[in-house]
Structure 1
Amino acid sequence: MSTSARSRADLVRHSAYEFALTTVLLFAVVSLIRRLAHPGRRWRSATRGPCSPSRESRSPRSSWA
């Protein structure tokens, strides 16, 4: 393998390593901040946000007919 091909492979390997490390660290920091902001709260599902009504407060479908 020539020197330029080896250095190019090292550059690609290093870039992939940096991307993976940055992704993992970003996920860890965001998770830590969310955990500290709301210590007793469980994670919410993506489909039901803070503005979604709970299932108990919705009217049953049979009354819509």
Structure 2
Amino acid sequence: MRGDKIEWETDAPKVLQKEKSVEVFVTILEEDSAIKEPRPFGLSKGDFVVPDNFDAPLSEEILTSFEQ
């Protein structure tokens, strides 16, 4: 079951009956932890500037540094 998400109340009993051992990771979130409203468009306007050459191909030097 590695990498699979199971719902504890519905899937766990079936999985536990089939598997000899399982790893369980539990994530507990506070009730208010989820973002309730989308962030407004332009929230970070003026905080950074996208350069004009943003979409330009990378130089050989930069490409080589990624490939090593």
TM-score band w.r.t. shorter chain: under 0.3
Structure 1-normalised TM-score? 0.19
* Higher RCO (CA-CA < 8 Å; seq separation 6+): 2
Q: Which structure is higher in helix share?
A: 1
Structure 2-normalised TM-score? 0.18
